[in-house]
Structure 1
């Protein structure tokens, strides 16, 4: 019998065979294991009303920057300046909110402070991308240089302006600005309203609200009032950024260009793909994600610190790899990155729900799962490409 063609072989594959070929399947399995392990070890506390909110907050922070890092990695490049960009963006916004704008422009509103900061970070992203594509140097080395340069310039510059690399005690702009509330307020309050209603129903049926099972079934505190009233706004932005990234990668020509650029930039260029513009645009996208990360923090906590974002670039890359993104480019998925963010976010926050665990084990876990993901991703890639 003649050997089956590649297309015939793919058509005869079962649902399970097709599923295990997907880049995000490893991240999904690990995520499920972590969820059940944390549920059991925390005695359910990690997923009660407050625990779920806190976990989603950390997951969203990781997810926002990991999306930018992942798309750039799919295109075959790295950006190690993401963490420094977070510190720069946060301090820029905070100083404008505290001292107003120079040149007689008056007091900065949250929207204006954000727009000016975004213009600066996008310009930096464009400049970093331009240096990478014009020089032909490794993006790892170029962005490592900008990691140090931007972090140092941020600390020195803002110390000269503010006499400190920290800004605290900003007014709560969420009370008067819809834009600040959109970035630093609460979202999806209806979810917790429903949770509260369910809890109140069981209380009316005579179930003790202090019962351990009940902490999973209702958003009630010991006084019988609503415990949590919504998720942090960064959850909304994580969903928005993820949805846009998914649409771009899977439904647009730009998505095809990104994959082609990371797979073989010379072949992509020969087929009319604007490789340099794609890469520069993705460096700007990582700068945008860093700015959103910083803005959500500033408007939520009413503080900023030039040291914010330290090591976040490494977590972003690690999450992207755990989510199925190849270090060599041309392979990855947004869904996998989301699974990776959930996994790393839950483990990083586990120490708050399981006090007996030493927090240093989080780094051990990230290192182990990262190494395992590299091997798993390579095997999945070879399975998809037929061993090429």
Structure 2
């Protein structure tokens, strides 16, 4: 492998700082293997308990909608945690971004409610959220304060300023009844429309996905599924195939050693805070253009769910190690459990929190075991 500070990067297995011992021994050392087994168990349990309804045409659509939401923000949180930092402002950023877009769309700002409206509202909001991500990262880097404390402060600040400002402007922290922009704007449809229509059409032609009238039941998946796949794929490639991936791992593993080897540690950290802000904005845009509504309270506790999914997916709390594949498995697991109440009425929705707590605690112990095996017990 080339030195960390060199301009040459060598391909490697994503999240893999493991010795290539091969076979079963190497598989056991993968951070995502435990999450994969739990995911399989959850899929089988829900399929059995729901008598298959959780995985019919509508069930797949609804489940993947929740899974994609989790996956988008958990991917951003995971990369930041690999670099040794946390972002507790993700949920508040979602609420801020959603209300910002909705307000511009409601009042016809900045370029009216024509085809350019959704695009301009999104881009201006994205500029603001990226600037906030840059500000958070800059404060963390130059103040040398814990990112936990700085982002906790922004959690309260962003949530409060969103509610105060929009209550003053809109006399309410909710906006509803927006026009269905995805019907007239391709840009809005990219976030709030449907995807994989061909898959559901094929399902119909094969004899499934049929309603009581014999017509096609579900026409496609939510567009957010594509966004999740795209963000996860880019994150995977960055970590496994680029020098930037080496930099992220090195920053989380040993910051001072990485800096001594030429890694732009501060730029990496600030860039990843901006990436979590980007993920939060994508999450918010999908909600706004899908439901034609916004609420300043959106995204509440999503930052904790994102961190929990990242940890359950094999990302170490101490940084330097993580897996985008594991995060995907974690998002699928959490999404299925969160949505199980709709397919299994006997389950109390509060059991989802019980599940999250148990899984998080187990994952911390397992991840610590993985870390010790990798580092030789250090």
TM-score strictly above 0.5: yes
Would you say how many aligned residue pairs link Structure 1 and Structure 2?
A: 359
Residue 109 of structure 2 contacts residue 117 of structure 2 at CA under 8 Å; is this kept in 1? no
Larger Rg: 1
Q: C-alpha separation between the residues in 2 aligned to 1:381 and 1:76?
A: 14
Q: C-alpha separation between the residues in 1 aligned to 2:295 and 2:184?
A: 23
Give the deviation of 1:14 after TM superposition.
4.5
Alignment of 1:307-346 (within 5 A): 307-346=297-336
TM-score (norm: length of structure 1): 0.91
Give the deviation of 1:18 after TM superposition.
1.2
Q: Which residue of 1 aligns with 2:166?
A: 158
Give the deviation of 1:380 after TM superposition.
1.3
Q: C-alpha separation between the residues in 2 aligned to 1:333 and 1:298?
A: 30
Match for residue 288 of structure 1 among 278, 282, 294 = 278
Match for residue 254 of structure 1 among 244, 249, 271 = 244
Q: Deviations over 1:175-226 (max 9, x none)?
A: 1100100110000011111110111xxxxxxxxxxxxxxxxxx111111111
**Is 1:123 matched with 2:122?**
no
Q: Which residue of 2 aligns with 1:79?
A: 87
CA separation of 1:10 and 1:113: change in aligned 2, threshold 3 A: closer
Match for residue 25 of structure 2 among 1, 8, 17 = 17
Q: Which residue of 2 aligns with 1:66?
A: 74
Q: C-alpha separation between the residues in 1 aligned to 2:226 and 2:373?
A: 35
Give the deviation of 1:293 after TM superposition.
0.1
Q: Which residue of 1 aligns with 2:373?
A: 383
Q: Secondary structure at the match of 2:187?
A: helix
4+ residue segments displaced more than 4 Å: 105-108
Unpaired segments ≥5 residues, structure 2: 1-17
**Cα RMSD (Å):** 1.1
**Is 1:372 matched with 2:362?**
yes
Q: Deviations over 1:282-324 (max 9, x none)?
A: 0000000000000000000000000000000000000000000
TM-score (norm: length of structure 2): 0.93
Q: Which residue of 2 aligns with 1:363?
A: 353
Q: C-alpha separation between the residues in 1 aligned to 2:249 and 2:122?
A: 31
**Is 1:181 matched with 2:171?**
no
